[in-house]
Structure 1
Amino acid sequence: MPTDCLPYRETGYFSNLITNYLDQEEALKPFYHRFPTADNLIKQAAEKGASFSPLSRKRLYDSLIAQYKNTNTSAETQLNLEHLASENTFTITTGHQLNLFTGPLYFLYKIISVINLCKELKEKNPDRNYVPIYWMATEDHDFDEINYFNFQGKKVQWNREDGGAVGELSTDGLAEVLALFKTQLGTSRNAEYLSKLFSDAYLNHDNLADATRYLGNELFGEYGLVIVDGNDAGLKELFAPYVQRELLEGVSHAKVTQQTEQLTALGYPEQVHPREINLFYITKGIRERIIKVDDMYVVNDTDIRFRENEILDELAKHPERFSPNALLRPLFQEVILPNLCYVGGGGELAYWFQLKTYFDEVGVPFPALLLRNSALIRTEKQRKKAESLGVSLPNLFLKQNELINRKVRAISNIEIDFSAQRSFLKEQFKAMHLLAEETDASFIGAVKAQEIKQLKGLENLESRLLRAQKRKLSDHVQRLVDLQNEVFPMQSLQERNTNFSQFYLEFGEQLIPELVNALEPLGGEFTVVTL
């Protein structure tokens, strides 16, 4: 299984914020704590261990045992659950929405990143245990973001009414989705496995959270993955003091706003906008923002409202009804987990960079932040096709029009670069400008206009010649386009839209082990995996 790597900056698909972070640029260092290296993560463990209480460990352990009571847990996961009760155990965490049938391919890459990082840390520091965590975003309510997946260029979608936290959504109606999916799968042994996996996950479980836990456990149980549902009364009770401070002081808004202004001053965009209160109120079928109106706490778009003493009483009795938004969820994770590092995509890391001063204010250690592995899967046939077309790996990542233009210029038997002619023309007009200045200044504008006209004419001639060569070399161009469309569906990174099932159908049970072997979480480069 050969692999190739490419610096993230050279792919053209990652923001300046992320590539500058990977380069550890000095200006970004105030926005994070420790850069993710094996040595730094071992230092992080010493700091986190000093702040994570035995009570928090016991509550985490008890909650997870309860969450797993109806799950057929692998021996590896069961061992990791037991490890979590020990003070020398720490976690590496990633999180993801409850996308239907895992959603885009990067769901796998996130989880493989935490699995492999735990393995690497254990080898370097065998006295501690490191547990890979997948945090299910069960409290999200953006159903339209998770109700589909893409398979072989088609959308497989679950249509139903939404409302409330997605983890509590009934799986009713997914039998029809499976029936549609099966018509596209075929009848191979791998197709039968995928059909059964979908059926066992969604038709044998009552809600989306349980179905997703089953799915994650089936795919990654042998690697000891532990799946956490934060929508848990016991875990929310640990977080209640921070919720109370958010309700009474709104400290997150002030600190996050301050840090966000510092980021935007450096030219980076705001990823998530902080609100006055960054909490939702959550009950059956409802997850709405909590808003402070005069001396009342109002649940948006409902008739629910509390005075200060009433909402504090509600928090004491029902902490599970208070749900952090995207800005507070990171704090929730770090309060209830003995966590060292959060592994996420570029967008996730961008909002974590808004949070450092807030974590400092509330006295919770800020974790290391690691960009998840990104990868492109190609077949041996596609690799050979690229080789025969003479397409280098960096060029394959170019935008399609630029890729075509470069290739046509490279293989044409005539020169399609008028740079020399442009330079010559500019030199001629320099002399004419000098002549105009020395004789008649009113002539300067006419000379400049003629220069622009002549240069534009050269540009048009170059474009026409390039288009003519594209037509002449249309067969080669089409093969190039077909190859890029295969590995960059919808002219985007494969991992951002294609579902894992498309590759499982072809590669079967070797798919995940091959990816586990290929991806290096601390490697710091984009990986191309040839299967």
Structure 2
Amino acid sequence: MDWKSTHLPYRQTGYFSRLITDYLDQADELSPYYAYPASPEGMRSALAARKAGKPVDRATLVQVLEEQYAGLAGAPRVKENIAKLASPNTFTICTAHQPAIFTGHLYFVYKILHTIRLAEWMKAQHPGDNFVPVFYMGSEDADLDELGQIWLGGEKLTWDTKQTGAVGRMTTKGLDKLYHRIEGELSVQRYGPELMAILKEAYLESPDIQTATLRILHRLFAEYGLIVLIADNAAFKRQMIAVFEDDLFRRESSRIVNETIGQLGEAYDIQANPRDINLFYLKDALRGRIEQTGDSYKVHGSALAFTESELRDELHRYPERFSPNVILRGLFQETILPNLAFVGGGGETAYWLELKGLFDHYQTPFPVLVVRSSFQLVEKQWMEKMERAGFGIEDLFRDEQDLMNQLVKRDSNQTLSLEEEIAAANQYYETLKALTRPVDPTLEQHVTALQVKAVEPIRLLEKKLLRAEKRKFSDQQRQIRAVKQALFPNGNLQERMENILPWYAAYGPGIIHDLYAHSPVWGEFVVLVEVL
């Protein structure tokens, strides 16, 4: 399949916050909240800082990865990349996401491909070093309402399970129903049978969700050397004991991050707020917040309670039972990985900007924050409808009514603009003001009120004329509405609603290859229009 690509500024789409567009523009007011710009110069600085900073426990990293990949089919590039991580001249480019079932939304795939592209670009720029793309799996997330559903063909499919706790640790029981629902819709496509075999191996033959996610990502991205890291591991968390103690007993992370958001919040909306304690207690089917009440530390949603000494002993004996929330997760990631850059979406970038003070406090290198690339996939039929209506790629993101107003004004044979009449009316009242001002200056306010009362009905009449004329363009409106509903389901960006599965069923692994080929090194919004 061939695609025609068009790159648009994020700001032009209207779907990204001011904080993110300002960050992309390298606004001065955001410079205190990150270490290096997302640029070649920033990456060089991050590389130098990592080389000079405190070393990562590479032996543990390699050992855990080898254990996690032990049961998977061989993939030479993955195996080589894991081995390379033992070397001090190997660094990672990382993205992260929770283990959403069946890969969740489209951006799940986009951020991975962007990470791969950036790692390859770094190798070309710095051939003496190695750069490995890593997907950090947030398998400890407990938000099943978000992770246990996908949208397929405009329908929300939900995993019916009563399991609780960390989603990554949940068994795959009950996913067979969703599998068969997906099979019924997609198996008739050209690559449907191939896709269903991949999904069956991952989700019906795995003991838990994190293993299923590891397997499907391995099948889709192993050829690019992607390493999937499950950080829910005692050996990794043992490296965070000192930080976890600070959070539990001295509230260090809460204090530091609150100082930052107090400053950042003066100009921007805050993405994440710290709690007094930013750790969960994780055991079996429980992931509950740790909260202090008096001298007791209680686990929300359970009867568990600890004294300070008991909780400290629990941390040292069972570090795997402590799960960082969003405030500490980034510090955890950068502690166990020799990482240079984090590739994330707008929301992720926003909360990372709150964390630099925390990294400075613990003398941990802060990664380059790269806003992931976004795609809008446009099938040929939808672009043809837009072109028949006289619009192009840049018009896809405009409001439906805005498009219709332009179309009607452009194609109608009637006079629909009353701007000349409005201007004439305004001029008439300005003349009245000039006449009355020398007599009594206080009358000017009265004339202004008369002016508003006179002009407003003319503007209302103009809107009614346009509305009446629109009825003659009902066919064009239906076409524009169909395009908008297809490309922006429920008014959202396609990537935040749709799933990769239908695209894979139709185009096979070629869709992954095409997205990879068109994925920019630095974050951009890319519109891909199908060319047959």
Give the TM-score category using the shorter length: over 0.9
Aligned partner of 1:528 in structure 2 is: 527
Query: How many angstroms does 1:68 deviate by?
Result: 1.3
Aligned partner of 2:311 in structure 1 is: 311
Write the letter of the residue equivalent to 1:469. E
Aligned partner of 1:8 in structure 2 is: 10
**Between 85-94 and 412-421, the greater mean CA deviation after superposition:** 412-421
Correspondence list, 1:361-376, <5 A: 361-376=361-376
Query: How many angstroms does 1:310 deviate by?
Result: 1.4
CA contact (8 A) 1:132 1:226 kept: yes
**Could you tell me which of 21, 30, 37 is aligned with 1:35?**
37
Write the letter of the residue equivalent to 1:530. V
Aligned partner of 2:23 in structure 1 is: 21
Cα deviation per residue 1:93-142 (whole Å; 9 max; x = unaligned)? 11112111111100110000100000111111111111111111110000
CA contact (8 A) 1:190 1:504 kept: yes
SS of the residue aligned with 2:330? Answer: helix
SS of the residue aligned with 2:178? Answer: helix
Give the number of aligned pairs: 528
Correspondence list, 1:101-180, <5 A: 101-180=102-181
Q: Give, in whole Å, the separation in 1 of the partners of 2:17 and 2:143.
A: 25
CA contact (8 A) 1:279 1:289 kept: yes
Q: Give, in whole Å, the separation in 2 of the partners of 1:160 and 1:255.
A: 39
TM-score, normalised via structure 2 length: 0.96
Cα RMSD for the two superposed structures: 1.6
Q: Give, in whole Å, the separation in 2 of the partners of 1:369 and 1:310.
A: 38
CA contact (8 A) 2:260 2:357 kept: yes
**Between 497-506 and 433-442, the greater mean CA deviation after superposition:** 433-442
Query: How many angstroms does 1:188 deviate by?
Result: 3.0
Aligned partner of 1:260 in structure 2 is: 261
Correspondence list, 1:313-328, <5 A: 313-328=313-328
**Could you tell me which of 41, 48, 51 is aligned with 1:49?**
51
Aligned partner of 1:351 in structure 2 is: 351
**Between 345-354 and 65-74, the greater mean CA deviation after superposition:** 65-74
Correspondence list, 1:406-445, <5 A: 406-439=406-439
Query: How many angstroms does 1:329 deviate by?
Result: 0.3
CA contact (8 A) 2:8 2:525 kept: yes
Query: How many angstroms does 1:442 deviate by?
Result: 7.2
Q: Give, in whole Å, the separation in 2 of the partners of 1:46 and 1:444.
A: 68
Query: How many angstroms does 1:459 deviate by?
Result: 1.7
Q: Give, in whole Å, the separation in 2 of the partners of 1:364 and 1:420.
A: 64
The yes-or-no answer on 1:508 pairing with 2:491 is no
CA contact (8 A) 2:164 2:286 kept: yes
Query: How many angstroms does 1:154 deviate by?
Result: 1.3
Q: Give, in whole Å, the separation in 1 of the partners of 2:158 and 2:195.
A: 16
Structure 1 stretches lacking a partner, 5+ long? none
SS of the residue aligned with 2:327? Answer: coil
Query: How many angstroms does 1:470 deviate by?
Result: 1.1
Query: How many angstroms does 1:492 deviate by?
Result: 1.7
CA contact (8 A) 2:389 2:407 kept: no
Q: Give, in whole Å, the separation in 2 of the partners of 1:420 and 1:120.
A: 56
Q: Give, in whole Å, the separation in 2 of the partners of 1:252 and 1:161.
A: 33
Query: How many angstroms does 1:447 deviate by?
Result: 3.2
Query: How many angstroms does 1:317 deviate by?
Result: 0.5
TM-score, normalised via structure 1 length: 0.96
CA contact (8 A) 2:190 2:507 kept: no
**Between 367-376 and 284-293, the greater mean CA deviation after superposition:** 284-293
Cα deviation per residue 1:341-388 (whole Å; 9 max; x = unaligned)? 011000010000111111101111111100001011112343333333
Query: How many angstroms does 1:517 deviate by?
Result: 0.3
Write the letter of the residue equivalent to 2:528. V
SS of the residue aligned with 1:473? Answer: helix
Query: How many angstroms does 1:446 deviate by?
Result: 4.8
Aligned partner of 2:517 in structure 1 is: 517
Q: Give, in whole Å, the separation in 1 of the partners of 2:88 and 2:54.
A: 9
Write the letter of the residue equivalent to 2:257. V
**Between 417-426 and 461-470, the greater mean CA deviation after superposition:** 417-426
Aligned partner of 1:235 in structure 2 is: 236
CA contact (8 A) 2:100 2:148 kept: yes
CA contact (8 A) 1:372 1:521 kept: no
What percentage of aligned pairs have identical amino acids?
36
Correspondence list, 1:270-419, <5 A: 270-419=270-419
Q: Give, in whole Å, the separation in 2 of the partners of 1:162 and 1:421.
A: 67
Write the letter of the residue equivalent to 1:268. Y
Cα deviation per residue 1:191-216 (whole Å; 9 max; x = unaligned)? 21222222111100011100111111
Structure 2 stretches lacking a partner, 5+ long? none
SS of the residue aligned with 2:191? Answer: helix
SS of the residue aligned with 1:160? Answer: coil
Write the letter of the residue equivalent to 1:419. E
Q: Give, in whole Å, the separation in 2 of the partners of 1:283 and 1:183.
A: 37
SS of the residue aligned with 1:162? Answer: coil
Query: How many angstroms does 1:273 deviate by?
Result: 0.9
Aligned partner of 2:77 in structure 1 is: 76
Q: Give, in whole Å, the separation in 1 of the partners of 2:502 and 2:403.
A: 26
**Between 31-40 and 335-344, the greater mean CA deviation after superposition:** 31-40
**Between 450-459 and 311-320, the greater mean CA deviation after superposition:** 450-459
CA contact (8 A) 1:341 1:368 kept: yes
Query: How many angstroms does 1:414 deviate by?
Result: 2.9
Q: Give, in whole Å, the separation in 1 of the partners of 2:492 and 2:399.
A: 9
Query: How many angstroms does 1:520 deviate by?
Result: 0.5
SS of the residue aligned with 2:508? Answer: helix
Write the letter of the residue equivalent to 2:156. K
Query: How many angstroms does 1:445 deviate by?
Result: 5.6
Aligned partner of 2:481 in structure 1 is: 481
SS of the residue aligned with 1:91? Answer: strand
CA contact (8 A) 2:190 2:506 kept: no
**Between 32-41 and 271-280, the greater mean CA deviation after superposition:** 32-41
Aligned partner of 1:454 in structure 2 is: 454
Query: How many angstroms does 1:401 deviate by?
Result: 1.9
Q: Give, in whole Å, the separation in 2 of the partners of 1:139 and 1:21.
A: 29
Q: Give, in whole Å, the separation in 1 of the partners of 2:73 and 2:278.
A: 36
